[in-house]
Amino acid sequence: MSEVNKEGTKKTIGTIVSDLTRPIKNHKGFTIWILFLLTVMGVGMMAYVDQLANGLGVTAMRDYISWGLYISSFIFFIATALVGMLISAVLGLIGIKWITPIARIAEMIALGFAMWAGLIIIFDMGRPDRALNLFIHGRLQSPILWDVTVVTTYIAISVLLYLLPLIPDMPFLKKAMTDQAKWKQKIYKILSFGFEGRPEQYKSVKKLIRILAILIIPVALAIHTVTSWLFALTPRVGWDSTIFGPYYVTGAFVAGGAAVMIAMFVLSRNYNLKDYITDFHFDKMGKLLVLLMLVYFYFNINEYIVPGYKMKAGDDHHILGLFTGHYAKMFWTVQLGGLIIPIILLLFRRMRKPLPSLFIGIAVIIGAFFKRYIITIPTLVHPHLPIQNVPEEFHSYWPNAWEWAITMMAIAGAVLIITILAKLFPIIPIWEIAHEEGITNEEMNKYVEES
């Protein structure tokens, strides 16, 4: 059943539409899944309300380790969101064909995680009530201002990059979803923007997608480079690095690639779309992830071996803490389990099958999450001057229940956005699949018109 797209039986536009819209109509377990996500978010919300009332003191953060899980999760979210740009923009622009059925999935991940990245930053603020000061008193010299600017730009372009390729799907949805709720049909009507499948309409949609795909590349590079500068622009051991920009960007693609892999498996199995997201796609995605991880591995060598070789005074504490000290367990688990072993495994064809891919993807994304923790916290534990005359809990840090609850709320929130999008719109672009199957615009229009 693999490689159906390549040489298998031709699909008609009718089967494509019914295959891709079926999961939107009936989907077992959807309510339970939504309830589960909402419960997780509810617990997080309670923790956040308590944090609002009593201050950031409810977290485990203190004066010296003053950034914790929120900031490291923020980088993780931004990182994961970057995959939208890689797959739909970079690979799309250079004409890679196999991304067609997964480009929209990547874009959904980008949207969900980018939006919640913005919220996590607010959770980390001591005075969220003063967030508007960023606009009233905004200071252009501060990397936070750059971050706010590029994150919002990235979200805006990502929304457009999600919506534009949806437009040609709308006529099919209007036709296929007549039995659905009125508000849904209204959404489909609005989002079609009067699209009727005319050749010039296809042409302008494609042109707009192309422009946005080009635009999003510098924005995406900026977003994660600036995020890395939140650290690299400070004179702190472990952050004071000139390669942080590319180090973060390449790491981001690893996290996002793993997220796409997991989503490919869950969605294709759950939505019964194995004919569209096939072993062939998992194989390609596995190869792509190996490439991304090798590049990231290269940057890791530079980031850790270079200072580790010199052991400059100051750097030595930090490096030894990671290599053999307090953070050694987490550091090596992340490096081996989240990077080196997955690289080796994915070199084998059998490991690029769907199920092994899922497990490797999960290992890589958990590794990516804790890698951000390793980048953020150990540096703060070793400031230039000793930590003294403060209570014991000021000396070390491990996120407490409040921080985990709020971070889980963010993860659940991002997954909720993806879930809702997957429930409202097809996760695979109907018109692009149809084009790949050699179905002409006229055939599609004819299909839409006949009742």
Partner 1 sequence: MKEKKNPEKKSGKKSTSRRDFLKKGLLAGAGTVLAGGVVGSFNAFAQNGEKIKVLGSDGKVMTVDKSHLQEIGLKTEEEMQVAGREGIPGKKWVMVIDLGKCKNARLCMASCQHAHELKPEQHHINVLRMDRGGDTAPFFMPKPCQHCDNPPCTKVCPVDATFKRQDGIVLIDNERCIGCRFCIAACPYSARIFNWSDPKDKEKYEDVEYNIELNVPQKKGTVSKCLFSADRLREGKLPYCVSACPNGVYWFGDANEDAVTNGTTKETVPFKKLLKDNAAYTLLPELGTKPSVYYLPEKDRLFPFEYEGKSDLEDKHHS
242 binds partner 1 per the rule CB under 8 A: no
- Choosing from 15, 66, 272, 324, the residue that interacts with partner 1 (CB under 8 A) is 66
Report CA-CA distances (Å) from 210 to 105, 157, 227, 349, 370. 18, 12, 26, 33, 35
3 conformational bin, left if phi > 0, alpha if psi -120 to 50, beta if neither: left
Among 6, 386, 438, 451, binds partner 1 (CB under 8 A): 386
Distances (CA, A) of 31 to 28, 112, 248, 273: 8, 19, 37, 20
x/- mask, partner 1, residues 145-174, rule CB under 8 A, reads: x--x--------------------------
Least distance (Å) from partner 1 to the CB of residue 318? 13
Name residues whose C-beta falls within 8 Å of residue 170's C-beta, 6 or more positions apart in sequence: 188, 189, 191, 192, 193, 195
Q: Is 39 in the site for partner 1 (CB under 8 A)?
A: no
Does residue 131 touch partner 1 according to CB under 8 A?
A: yes
**Binding status of residue 230 toward partner 1 by CB under 8 A:** yes
Instruction: Name which position in 118, 143, 325, 356 contacts partner 1 (CB under 8 A).
Output: 143
**Closer CB to partner 1, 210 or 317, in the complex:** 317
Nearest to 114 by CA among 259, 291, 277, 290: 259
DSSP line for 196-261: ---HHHHHHHHHHHHHHHHHHHHHHHHHHHHHHHHHHTS--TTT--TTHHHHHHHHHHHHHHHHHH
Minimum Å gap between C-beta 143 and partner 1 is 6
Query: How far apart, in whole angstroms, are the C-alpha atoms of residue 401 and residue 399?
Result: 7
Minimum distance, C-beta of residue 383 to partner 1, in the bound complex (Å): 5
Q: Is the dihedral of CA 199, 204, 210, 213 positive or negative?
A: negative
Is 141 a binding residue for partner 1 by CB under 8 A? The answer is: yes
- Does position 9 bind partner 1 by CB under 8 A? no
Under the binding rule (CB under 8 A), the answer on residue 64 touching partner 1 is: yes
What x/- string results for residues 188 through 217 when contact with partner 1 is judged by CB under 8 A? ------------------------------
Where do contacts with partner 1 occur on this chain (CB under 8 A)?
54-59, 61-64, 66-67, 124-128, 130-131, 133-134, 136-139, 141-145, 148, 230-231, 233-236, 380, 383-391, 394
